[in-house]
Chains A and B, each alone.
Chain A
């Protein structure tokens, strides 16, 4: 009987400490402590030793790109902008294709425009007259629309142009 009561006392003592240990404040302080001092190391690619140089390189690249002189602009890949060649700028003497500089050369670099051979005699007999040549996707594709917005489109595709 006596031993049982003493066992109860010691059991209560253990319960007393168990309550203290499983307190929510203790759990949260443990979590904070682990996060502050012993958090798992991040994936190697995200560690500062790799991440910071990568960010710096990217920053230098974009800075250099914005400050580079226009005459060196050709070193960057740039999508070709719409190049509109007026009728008066065509040069028949070159035959099939003409290499032409766009009006905004100083900003956008060099654009190559394919232009078909213009044959005025042939055009005179047709209801549709070629007025403009647009290049939207690069030097390999040229399409032509008629002046009166008639839904007729002629497309030439020049492979490797």
Chain B
């Protein structure tokens, strides 16, 4: 954690459990860290520019929104074109996460992972067919793993023991 100074770290620790839902949430962080509100805002801006903070906002519960079908679609894409296919798949509006990952042969031949959400499994299957069309003959095999249950969801937490 060498790239974060102790004040950055204190700000993140104060903010990561959630911003206060009050008119001036950054002032609340400032109070708990012991610096000025303007400093908090400037530092969070720098952390966003550096990519340490990807965004500030909400994460909804997909199930509560009615998006009860959550499919991790997985694809065995020829290595030579896997990056190119990944870029195209990742650009689809209904794909929320898309990664190239190593295969775990022999049991796991898939190297491209694309998360697709829908209100029904039929909707996810329709989207999966769109991905298959896009991947074309470079795709040798595919599968979809539906989620049955969220067992844990806390996000990344910094432990409080310093860098």
A and B from one complex? no
Task: Give me the interface of B with A, judged by CB distance under 8 Å.
Answer: none
